Amino acid sequence: MNLMQSITEPAWVSWLKPVTSKCCSCNRSLALKNVSSHKAGITMQEKWYCSSRCLTSAAQKEVVRLLQSRPRRGPQLSRMSLGLSLMSRGLLSRTQYQEALDEQRRTGGELGELVVSKGWVSESQVTTVIAAQWGCAAFAMPTYIVSSGIHIPLAILEANAAIPLHYATATNLLLVGFVHSVSYGLLSAMEQIIECKTQPCFVTPSEFEVERERLERERALLEDASWKEVVSNESQTPAEMAEALCNYCVEFEAEEAIIRRCNEYIWVRLKASSAKADLLFKVV
């Protein structure tokens, strides 16, 4: 696939039935050999584009649309504060609660981490209470966890304090562990890009760190460059994002691009015959 070249190949050979594609930007048609392993142009959001010019124009419009969209929100549940929930379960005294609140106002941070650092409550107790607040289960991390096999950019996982825990092939269900709160924007982006169903649960901060470090080591071993992650934290206009996206499509010889909003990032997944890549553009 080469987006930088105009399409001048013969439409078909006489003994092959041609398959015609029409560019969703310029309406240009191209007859393609149905036995060819490579297709000119690229598919983005299930629409086909014939050239870099058409792809860049469409990508810019899609980025603008995503930037204007509102992040997905979950069900509006009435939740008691974490401190009050711990008090109601007899895990925290009123004096301890007030002391933790005062320190939180001075230093910031999560109240759960403050009470754990003081030794008043254990990590697992805090996680169990948070999970109950969100109507989810607290995941009991086994001693040895098998990789889910699902690739999510580390920058997205760290930004949302989330980790993929288990993928069930039979049901196409991905279990995702959170530390502080459920990010429905992340779950929505995962479902659309990975094409799976998701179910949230909760893990302790320590369990999250252990699994995050394991994922970092696992990614470092991908020396064959079959999967790459490119993160841009610089402020960019939609036009600049679209141009960068197109350039990466050419570099990776991508056949398909999927673009989604994931909270503070525009997440692009590029698919090629022999490799995949994730592009992240920070929304400033």
Which pLDDT score is estimated for 64?
94
**Cα–Cα distance measured from residue 103 to residue 273, given in angstroms and rounded to the nearest whole number:** 54
Q: What is the pLDDT of residues 74-117, one digit of tens each?
A: 565 657 889 999 999 999 999 999 999 999 999 888 899 999 99
pLDDT above 60: residue 1: no
Point out the least confidently predicted range of 11-15, 27-31, 198-202, 260-264. Answer: 11-15
**Residues 152 and 195 reside in one and the same domain:** yes
Range of the structural domain that residue 95 is part of: 82-133
**Cα–Cα distance measured from residue 229 to residue 9, given in angstroms and rounded to the nearest whole number:** 33
Mean pLDDT of the 205-214 span: 92
Confidence class of residue 240 from pLDDT cuts 50, 70 and 90? very high
The reply to whether 75 falls in a domain is: no
Question: Which class for 115: exposed (0-12), middle (13-18), buried (19 or more C-beta within 10 A)?
Answer: buried
**Residues 148 and 203 reside in one and the same domain:** yes
Of 221, 244, 270, the last residue of a domain is 221
**Residues 56 and 3 reside in one and the same domain:** yes
The most confident of 20-24, 115-119, 219-223, by mean pLDDT: 115-119
Radius of gyration of the chain (CA): 23
Q: What is the pLDDT of residues 169-187, one digit of tens each?
A: 999 999 999 999 999 999 9
**Number of compact structural domains in the chain:** 3
